Chains A and B, each alone.
Chain A
Amino acid sequence: MRIGVVTFPGSLDDVDAARAVRLAGGEVVPLWHADAELPAVDAVVLPGGFSYGDYLRAGAIAARQPLMRAVVDRAHAGMPVLGICNGFQVLCEAGLLPGALTRNSHLHFRNRDQALQVERADTAWTSSYAPGQTIVVPVKNGEGRYVGSDADLDRLEGEGRVVVRYAGGNPNGSSRDIAGVTSADGRVVGLMPHPEHAVEELTGPSVDGLGFFTSVLQGALSA
């Protein structure tokens, strides 16, 4: 299975996302933001980092790059897309996911090992987990506070679109401890924590993050 990993100017965790895809058994296709055509890939990962230096708003400029038009079109057609951290911000800015990510409530960048509860284990990116499972992956962001109007948040929760929630402490003041959400069809997932940093015993706090990448591979096999 071919999984594209997009590099924008200022992407930082593209190497890490590619490593996670490889460790899960996928084939990595590096994608360049300025290309208008999306090559033959089965899924796309938008990695973490500071695309365009977070200028204007985090993710705002990246969301308007040529490649993103193709990604949005393919996502509407059902291609799985995972946005991690800055990638989540890009997905919100591109309109593929609802809500917005704003400055952390305490105004500091924060990097810590974070417990998450998996609420949806039936999306394209979380089917390897059990519903309600607690996992530990790093969180690291300065603008990771997920916000939305109460009505929108009620609707999201009603539709079961909260994929992962912070457990044992909220690192950035996100509304209702929301760490990640999904599209209505469960194919597009965005989250602030970094599953790609928890794929090896040696370098991560756990290997709990690998499940995001094995999920999409298994999904493709069973499809």
Chain B
Amino acid sequence: MTVDTVTRAGETPDEEQPHRELGLRDEEYLRIRDILGRRPTTAELAMYSVMWSEHCSYKSSKVHLRTFGDLPRSEALLVGMGENAGVVDVGDGYAVTFKVESHNHPSYVEPYQGAATGVGGIVRDILTMGARPVAVMDSLRFGRADAPDTARVLPGVVAGVGGYGNCLGLPNIGGEVLFDDCYAGNPLVNALCVGVMRHEDVRLAKAEGVGNKVVLFGARTGGDGIGGVSVLASETFDEHGPAKRPSVQVGDPFTEKLLIEACLEIFAADLVTGIQDLGGAGLSCATSELAAAGSGGMRIDLETVPLRDSTLTAAEILMSESQERMCAIVEPAKVEQFLAVCAKWDVLATVIGEVTDGDRLLIDWHGERIVDVPPRTVAHDGPVYERPYHRPADLDDLQADLPPTASADLRADWLAVVGSPDGCDKSWVTEQYDRYVQGNTVLAQPDDAGLVRIDEASHRGIALALDGNARFARLDPYTGAQLNLAEAYRNVAVSGAVPLAVTNCLNFGSPEEPEVMWQFAEAVRGLADGCRALGLPVTGGNVSLYNQTGDVPINPTPVIGVLGVHDDVRTRVRGGWRAAGETVLLLGETRPEFGGSAWAGVVHGHLGGLPPRLDLDAERALAGLLARLAADGAVTSAHDLADGGLAQALTESALRHGVGATVRVDGDPTAALFAESVARAVVTTADPAAVRAAAEAAGVPVTELGTTGGDALVVEDVLELPLAELRSTWTRTLPDLFGHPEDVVGAVPTGAVPTS
């Protein structure tokens, strides 16, 4: 088969090329021809097609995301958007990098590997910044819990998140598991990783220094994940090549663990000048981004790339998304030492090229030039679209469809809400994740935020929360995005940490639908306004579009992550009541707000009206108060109020350690128990006067609810729920659907076990 060289491309300008099958529009193809002054070679076309895909180029979202860059400069931000992940100063010379990424589509096709490689990819992003990854979180959305396909997708996704993260030795410290019909054909798997380093250890993805070597290290390159962004399955692209390959990558966490240790040793010995992980678009992305960020010149001998499958073509090698690979720029004098560290950790490492003094990315295949492009045009100068958008036609009707406001049976509604798939105990999921490894996990699920110690001597720590209520965002994406920001912010504050920075994973339907594009634009505008009001920078993020089945998009799902810093994790505040006789206080104000609430959804199957009123000033006041109460040791527990309102928060607080309470609620009990007004938390204390005084000083309303103790939750004159009944309702939902933990799967036949 003839190699399609640059020379040949010049000589055969009219050769038909399968750009449409690769996902490129006619005008995009013409632009590539324009940039190169000729038709692209097969390899060049492959590179442009993956790098100009929505996934890599953010071509539909870019114009909106620029808003985040316009936020006031934060002193805490060391590295902003555009790098693999943003970096934040958390004090004492420590820097933290964190990011969420989606792996939605692969997880629907192959739940275990899709989810596993989602974790693997985000961990490499964090590692690339020079940081040691210290924890992961995951935000998951599935179709109806009792839908047959959920029984296929959920167990696989959970096992994949656990299987990969556990094997890497990263504690999973929190996240979300929620259900809605709109995700039936399009589950969401958003994985977060956070890493820690010293300020001086921050690494950037750039290729500098003429003569420096380009080293590819980690796993061999195979045919998996080719065109994960588009369509290599197309027969016309290369009918002589290997058969169609699965477009989902396959992960090997053991190799990634070795890659992590090798990288950290390489960083410590200062052996690289630049580094980039290989994720979406593989080598196409790594080489073009490294070169574009440096002086521009790089030459690669593609046939030196170690392969798992010797039949791969040059274009396939460039597009492969095989996992557990990294690319480093290494000074010639340090190459030997670099390779020795890799050998120590059994990591394969190969010099595949070098930095050159030109401004072209040149790729040769057995001595013939197959790529000769300006790297910026591949990496950064992709198309940018101002997609048309307009307010969804059904939104006025939806917002006018007000939710019910009165419960006919408070006790039955309470049990329905806390026993619903969204409200129930998530141990079935979280027990499959290692939360202890590394020995620094101070708080993890089911606490509101995860909290990790980063310095054993100073007790400094970082807190993280991920929240993404899509029901609110469906009713009003501008406010919904801010409500999610507010909830994550509040969850971090509940632990006693001070919120510091924001990341996001924006999951939406097709950008080609103007109504979806409007939801996206509104959510971005909302998040930017919210961050401005709270004084927090957006450090980076991820956009996942085309989450829809046929022409039905998912509810807009902006998942927001907030990072906080804790000066002394010994003063952290935990969830759950531990002792009888403590005073239960409600901080914040409750209004009869039921639009998009769990109660309206679970009990009435209703989604309509407006989401709760946003009040970021009240959130700031509450967060300041919670930090103060933590530092003073004034509260014995804290839990934020969100989905399911007070009923949900009381249930979780009581069941954590089996301590009940007797409380009073004034006014309308439906609102008191189920409204989802923002900026609220429930705390317990042995010194209510001190909490009241602090709250008054902070301008936060306080309501005394009652006292802990007993083996029931009693709402005076309203209802009584024995903890045993509550626990049974709360804990059995997921096991009933997905298998009870004690179920034995298979049995060992007698005599089948070897004897010693």
Show the binding face of A for B, using Cβ within 8 Å.
Answer: 9-10, 12-13, 15-16, 19, 48-50, 52-55, 95, 98-100, 102, 105-112, 138, 140, 142, 147-152, 169, 173, 194, 196-197, 199-200, 202-204
B333 within 8 A of A: no
In the complex, A152→B163 CA distance in Å? 32
Kindly name the residue among A15, A54, A109 whose own CB sees the greatest number of chain B CB atoms within 10 A: A109
Residues of A within 8 A of B258 (CB): 9-10
* A18–chain B nearest beta-carbon distance, Å: 9
Question: A110-B432, A203-B453 known; A9 and B756 CB under 8 Å?
Answer: no
B570 within 8 A of A: yes
A147 touches B254 (CB 8 A): no
B436 touches A10 (CB 8 A): no
B739 within 8 A of A: yes
* B417–chain A nearest beta-carbon distance, Å: 26
Q: Contacts A9-B345, A202-B569 given; 13 further ones with Cβ under 8 A?
A: A9-B346, A10-B257, A12-B257, A50-B254, A53-B257, A105-B746, A108-B431, A108-B741, A109-B162, A112-B431, A140-B436, A150-B750, A203-B436
B743 within 8 A of A: yes
Residues of A within 8 A of B438 (CB): 15-16
Q: Which residue of chain B has its CB nearest to the CB of A108?
A: B432
Question: A111-B435, A148-B753 known; A203 and B163 CB under 8 Å?
Answer: no
A106 touches B439 (CB 8 A): no
- Checking B430, B436, B569, B753 against A138 with a beta-carbon cut-off of 8 angstroms, the contacting residue is B436
In the complex, A99→B754 CA distance in Å? 8
* A122–chain B nearest beta-carbon distance, Å: 22
A100 touches B754 (CB 8 A): yes
Residues of A within 8 A of B437 (CB): 12-13, 16, 48, 140
Residues of B within 8 A of A12 (CB): 167-169, 257, 437
- Checking A98, A110, A150 against B431 with a beta-carbon cut-off of 8 angstroms, the contacting residue is A110
B742 within 8 A of A: yes
Residues of B within 8 A of A95 (CB): 756
A203 touches B442 (CB 8 A): yes
* B281–chain A nearest beta-carbon distance, Å: 27
* A21–chain B nearest beta-carbon distance, Å: 12
In the complex, A55→B746 CA distance in Å? 22
In the complex, A197→B318 CA distance in Å? 44
Kindly name the residue among A53, A111, A200 whose own CB sees the greatest number of chain B CB atoms within 10 A: A111
B243 within 8 A of A: no
B744 touches A173 (CB 8 A): yes
- Checking A108, A111, A112, A140 against B159 with a beta-carbon cut-off of 8 angstroms, the contacting residue is A108
* A54–chain B nearest beta-carbon distance, Å: 8
In the complex, A13→B169 CA distance in Å? 8
B748 within 8 A of A: yes
B745 within 8 A of A: yes
Q: Which residue of chain A has its CB nearest to the CB of B743?
A: A106
In the complex, A12→B441 CA distance in Å? 14
Interface residues of B in 567-611 (CB under 8 A from A): 569-570
Residues of A within 8 A of B442 (CB): 202-203
Q: Which residue of chain B has its CB nearest to the CB of A155?
A: B756
B755 within 8 A of A: yes
Q: Which residue of chain A has its CB nearest to the CB of B432?
A: A109
* A169–chain B nearest beta-carbon distance, Å: 8
From DSSP, what is the main secondary structure of chain A's interface residues? loop
Question: A49-B169, A111-B433, A202-B453 known; A149 and B742 CB under 8 Å?
Answer: no
Residues of B within 8 A of A105 (CB): 744-747
Q: Which residue of chain A has its CB nearest to the CB of B253?
A: A53
In the complex, A13→B436 CA distance in Å? 9
Interface residues of B in 395-445 (CB under 8 A from A): 427, 430-442
Q: Which residue of chain B has its CB nearest to the CB of A113?
A: B436
* A16–chain B nearest beta-carbon distance, Å: 4
In the complex, A13→B170 CA distance in Å? 10
Show the binding face of B for A, using Cβ within 8 Å.
Answer: 159, 162-163, 166-169, 252-255, 257-258, 345-346, 427, 430-442, 453, 456, 569-570, 739, 741-748, 750-751, 753-756
In the complex, A112→B745 CA distance in Å? 19
Residues of B within 8 A of A173 (CB): 744
Q: Which residue of chain B has its CB nearest to the CB of A110?
A: B431
Q: Which residue of chain A has its CB nearest to the CB of B428?
A: A108
B254 touches A111 (CB 8 A): no
B431 touches A10 (CB 8 A): no
* A211–chain B nearest beta-carbon distance, Å: 17
In the complex, A52→B439 CA distance in Å? 22
A10 touches B167 (CB 8 A): yes
B252 touches A53 (CB 8 A): yes
**CB<8 Å pairs between A and B, sample of 16:** A9-B254, A9-B346, A10-B258, A16-B436, A19-B456, A52-B254, A105-B744, A105-B747, A109-B434, A140-B437, A149-B755, A197-B436, A197-B439, A203-B439, A203-B441, A204-B436
Residues of A within 8 A of B430 (CB): 111
A202 touches B745 (CB 8 A): no
- Checking B162, B167, B439, B753 against A19 with a beta-carbon cut-off of 8 angstroms, the contacting residue is B439
Q: Which residue of chain B has its CB nearest to the CB of A149?
A: B755
In the complex, A108→B742 CA distance in Å? 10
Residues of A within 8 A of B345 (CB): 9
In the complex, A12→B170 CA distance in Å? 9
A53 touches B440 (CB 8 A): no
Question: A106-B743, A108-B432, A140-B436 known; A149 and B753 CB under 8 Å?
Answer: yes
B755 touches A148 (CB 8 A): yes
Question: A53-B254, A107-B745, A110-B432 known; A203 and B166 CB under 8 Å?
Answer: no
A102 touches B346 (CB 8 A): no
Q: Which residue of chain B has its CB nearest to the CB of A170?
A: B742
In the complex, A107→B257 CA distance in Å? 23
* B254–chain A nearest beta-carbon distance, Å: 3
In the complex, A169→B741 CA distance in Å? 11
Residues of B within 8 A of A140 (CB): 166, 434, 436-437
Residues of B within 8 A of A138 (CB): 436
In the complex, A110→B441 CA distance in Å? 17
Residues of B within 8 A of A149 (CB): 751, 753, 755
- Checking A9, A49, A99, A106 against B741 with a beta-carbon cut-off of 8 angstroms, the contacting residue is A106
Residues of B within 8 A of A194 (CB): 436
A106 touches B756 (CB 8 A): no
In the complex, A167→B641 CA distance in Å? 35
The 4 closest A-B pairs by CB, nearest first: A53-B254, A12-B169, A98-B756, A16-B439
- Checking B252, B255, B755 against A152 with a beta-carbon cut-off of 8 angstroms, the contacting residue is B755
Question: A9-B258, A111-B434, A203-B453 known; A50 and B439 CB under 8 Å?
Answer: no
Residues of B within 8 A of A98 (CB): 756
